[in-house]
Amino acid sequence: MARNGLRRRLVMKLGCKLAMAAAVALAASQARAATYNSTVESYNPLAYFTFTNQSGSQTQSAVNGYTLTLENGATISSGAGPTINGSSVPALVLANGSSGQAYATSVGASGLMGGISTAGTILATIDLASLPSTNGRIYSIAGESAGGDDLDFQIGTDNTIDFYTNGGGSARTAALTSADIGQPLFLAATFVSGGLSDIYIDGTLAATTSAGGRNDSGAPFYVGQSNVFGDRYFDGSISDVAVYNTALSAADVSNIYQSATGGGTISAAPEPSTWLLMFVGIGGVGLGLRRTNKSVGLRAMAA
């Protein structure tokens, strides 16, 4: 009997240690997500919308105090963003389907109006609910444009990711496919006026072209729609939107991506049951050990 009591105490200690290990892992993942935020900010963005600071229909940038206003049913959900090293982040949800018109805009007294001229970068992680070809329209990710003076980061009706920085051509990636729906993509678009315009997907260069010239249009910054062109409503969710008035290098983009992944990948947000199943699994281990020990004890008594 004393031996069975010892086994029970050992099982209880093992269960506690497993639970503590899970808690430590969760805290570590949250710390790594915070490291991602600080890395993005270390390159001095004009604005960085993490969608964590919301007041009514507005959300505030983590730097410089700029705001985005949610329009036409746009929402922010704490569980809609991707998982960055085990910690899900909030996202701007634009469930536009075939006819929705939700987006976010910086129009207003605290809005980001212009500020990008000879060089710039836009970062965003997107999660598509459908392909543009399905709905027959361009999906705007983010930008601030004026007629003939574009700054448009978007996905075309041919499902290519495009970045326009003037009234002419764009950097253009290979077409996305249905396999990309529901899979977070970390995107970066950079340009230097008169130099190159580049697009990165998950930290890797995916397209490059001549950037052409650009002037600071003073136009408002938009997410999920264009401030110039109509019916370019994004369908899905967008998280961690940052805009810079400098062109991040390939090494900078890779560094930001690596800070989010720790050498792995950005994955889809976990189902609410994921952590519950993990803890149930821990409890199951303990219960299984207790049953095993009880069985061993009974056999010993029978002998």
- Sheet order of strands, 58-60 included: 54-55, 58-60, 67-71, 103-105, 222-223, 139-143, 152-155, 160-164, 170-175
Q: Count the alpha carbons within 13 Å of 109 in the hemisphere toward its beta carbon.
A: 0
* Tokens 């910086």, located at residue: 106
- Strands (E) in 131-256, as ranges, are 139-143, 152-155, 160-164, 170-175, 185-192, 196-201, 204-210, 222-223, 236-244
Helices (H), 161-271: 250-261
pLDDT single digits (tens) 27-74:
444 444 568 899 999 999 999 999 999 999 999 999 999 999 999 999
Q: In whole angstroms, what is the distance from residue 135 CA to residue 96 CA?
A: 10
Query: What is the token pair recorded at 90?
Result: 């909030």
pLDDT at residue 28, rounded to an integer: 43
- Domain segments of the chain as ranges: 2-28+273-302, 43-261
Give yes or no for residue 279 having a pLDDT over 80: no
pLDDT single digits (tens) 207-252:
999 988 888 888 999 999 999 988 999 999 999 999 999 999 999 9
Is the CB of residue 41 less than 8 Å from the CB of residue 63?
yes
* Domain covering 43-261 in this structure, CATH number: 2.60.120.200
Whole-prediction pTM: 0.79
pLDDT single digits (tens) 134-171:
999 999 999 998 877 889 999 999 999 999 988 667 89
User: What is the DSSP code (8-state) at residue 263?
Assistant: T
